[in-house]
Chain A
Amino acid sequence: GAVVSQHPSRVICKSGTSVKIECRSLDFQATTMFWYRQFPKKSLMLMATSNEGSKATYEQGVEKDKFLINHASLTLSTLTVTSAHPEDSSFYICSAKGTGYNEQFFGPGTRLTVL
């Protein structure tokens, strides 16, 4: 149980375009979803926390207008990278936590490359 999927697994886009990444909890209701960014051989950096039906809470230094997060249902959260630039290229990971669980469950990640 407790499976989290992400789509797409890889995306390449041109500079200036927007990209949407989906995170879904497949077999449980995710009251909270977390979005992380990870550079090669580095740790996960928390970008924001989203609760279903409310605005996301962004970590210090993360531009909320740049990284739009929506958590419209208990099984889906989306991260939209707006006006992407090459420096936004990274590996983005989501995780989800549901009521009664003591741990977060991680998605497989999305590799974003901005040309």
Chain B
Amino acid sequence: AQTVTQSQPEMSVQEAETVTLSCTYDTSESDYYLFWYKQPPSRQMILVIRQEAYKQQNATENRFSVNFQKAAKSFSLKISDSQLGDAAMYFCAYRPFYTGANSKLTFGKGITLSVRP
């Protein structure tokens, strides 16, 4: 079974600084998807970034980028120029590559990020 580990329960960053959130996972599959989701106080789950395991290039979305190390099974999220609106809970998630209807997301425990003004 796949597992996703986020070992840091909380982190804090100064506004405008950069922060990196860690995630490791375990799978025997060679192809899969990895995601970072943001859950602000409203509790709406928002997709931040997606990485396909078969792509060597790290995904980026504006101020958000990932460091995907497939061999190490590591998938960290870097937030640059942190903003107050980035304060939220962040979840790392894994999904098998096959697009069968029941391909499920496996979530990590999440990390609470606070941003200091």
Q: Which A positions have Cβ atoms within 8 angstroms of B?
A: 31-32, 34, 38, 41-44, 46, 49, 51, 57, 91, 93, 95, 97, 102-104, 106, 108-109
Contact between A31 and B101, CB atoms less than 8 A apart = yes
Contact between A91 and B43, CB atoms less than 8 A apart = yes
Is B33 engaged at the interface, CB distance under 8 Å to the other chain? yes
Contact between B42 and A51, CB atoms less than 8 A apart = no
Measured between beta carbons, the chain A residues less than 8 angstroms from B43 are 38, 91, 93, 108-109
Q: CA separation between A93 and B42, bound complex, in Å?
A: 12
Contact between B102 and A32, CB atoms less than 8 A apart = yes
- Which residue of B45, B50, B104 is within 8 Å of A106 (Cβ)? B45
Is B16 engaged at the interface, CB distance under 8 Å to the other chain? no
Contact between B102 and A46, CB atoms less than 8 A apart = no
Tell whether A43 pairs with B107 under 8 Å between CB atoms, given A91-B43, A106-B44, A109-B44: yes
